[in-house]
């Protein structure tokens, strides 16, 4: 990252600190903790995490830190939605669904730099998951969720309601990242990797904001539809402050 973007990134982190955490984490602390605990202790998830850590490309804003957060939140959503449907508790079937959601989260951007990364990631993930003790239909559901995680793309129909829910949990957890984290981490990794001049970056900024606005209407699970728009709104507010800061402090570059 060049020195100019490094200064902007530091200011972005300061700006973000002034905003609250998304309500999702405040309203579901038990489910968040359960997902984190499961991620840390489940042997299948831990083995897959080690594999992804060694194989994911980590310089485009969608590396290991990103997929770990997506896996955590996908697991949390799987717990919330599972308990909403089946009642409280964390039995073996729900744990299995959390495992699938977290594995989907870990693998969803494994081919992020490829043009059709969702489709290619799904094909690649099928080969990876064959090495684990998943039933064939579970592998199908995980890979379809990965293929379906792109915004505004065609959504393939899942074979079961459970598969559709898994797909929704992955999508929503991924799009949660398009809020605050988009402006504290992802954007700066991407512009640094692509070496985009700041004047070009600022010219494209309004288009990017418009795209984020549209994401608010795409969340797929009941929980995602309730909380997802706030994630995006927080990011947009932070993004607006960053835009004003750049205009004020770096006008000579624009």
Q: What pLDDT band is residue 137 in, cutting at 50, 70 and 90?
A: very high
Sequence-separated (6 or more) residues with CB below 8 Å from residue 250: 4, 8, 198
- Read out DSSP for 182-226? IIIIIHHHHHHHHT--HHHHHHHHHHHHHHHHHHTT---SHHHHH
Q: What share of the chain is helix, strand, coil (3-state, %, to 5)?
A: 75, 0, 25
Q: According to the model, what pLDDT value does residue 59 have?
A: 66
Running DSSP on this structure, what letter comes out for residue 130?
Answer: T
Residues 66-73 have a mean pLDDT of 97
Rounded to 5 degrees, φ, ψ at 154 are: -70, 135
Q: Of all residues in the chain, what percent carry a pLDDT higher than 90?
A: 78
Nearest to 181 by CA among 14, 55, 16, 24: 16
Q: What is the pLDDT of residues 108-129, one digit of tens each?
A: 999 988 788 999 999 999 999 9
Running DSSP on this structure, what letter comes out for residue 109?
Answer: T
Q: What is the pLDDT of residues 222-247, one digit of tens each?
A: 999 999 999 999 999 999 999 999 99
> Which domains are delineated in the chain?
3-253 (1.10.3210.10)
Lowest-confidence range among 75-79, 88-92, 247-251? 88-92
Q: According to the model, what pLDDT value does residue 62 have?
A: 81
Instruction: Share the mean pLDDT of the chain.
Output: 93
Q: Does pTM surpass 0.85?
A: yes
Q: According to the model, what pLDDT value does residue 138 have?
A: 95
Q: What is the pLDDT of residues 141-198, one digit of tens each?
A: 999 999 999 998 888 998 899 999 999 999 999 999 999 999 999 998 888 888 888 9
What gap in Å lies between CA 177 and CA 173, rounded to an integer?
A: 7
What gap in Å lies between CA 37 and CA 39, rounded to an integer?
A: 5
Q: What pLDDT band is residue 65 in, cutting at 50, 70 and 90?
A: very high
């Amino acid at each position: 990252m060049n020195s100019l973007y490094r200064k902007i990134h530091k200011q972005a982190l300061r700006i973000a600190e002034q905003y609250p955490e998304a309500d999702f984490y405040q309203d579901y602390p038990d489910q968040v903790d359960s997902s984190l605990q499961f991620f840390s202790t489940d042997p299948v998830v831990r083995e897959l995490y080690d594999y992804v850590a060694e194989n994911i490309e980590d310089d485009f804003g969608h590396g290991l830190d990103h997929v770990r957060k997506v896996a955590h939140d996908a697991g949390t959503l799987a717990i919330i939605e599972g308990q909403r449907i089946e009642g409280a508790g964390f039995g073996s079937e729900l744990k299995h669904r959390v495992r699938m959601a977290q594995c989907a989260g870990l693998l969803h951007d494994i081919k992020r730099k490829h043009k059709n990364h969702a489709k290619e990631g799904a094909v690649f993930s099928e080969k990876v998951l064959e090495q684990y003790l998943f039933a064939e239909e579970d592998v199908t559901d995980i890979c379809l969720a990965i293929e379906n995680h792109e915004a505004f793309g065609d959504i393939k129909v899942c074979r079961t309601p459970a598969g559709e829910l898994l797909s929704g949990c992955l999508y929503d957890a991924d799009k949660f990242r398009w809020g605050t984290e988009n402006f504290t981490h992802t954007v700066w990794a991407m512009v640094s990797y692509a070496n985009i001049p700041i004047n070009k970056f600022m010219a494209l900024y309004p288009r990017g904001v418009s795209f984020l606005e549209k994401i608010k209407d795409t969340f797929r699970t009941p929980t995602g539809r309730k909380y997802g728009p706030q994630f995006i709104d927080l990011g947009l507010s932070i993004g607006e402050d960053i835009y004003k800061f750049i205009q004020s402090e770096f006008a000579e570059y624009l």
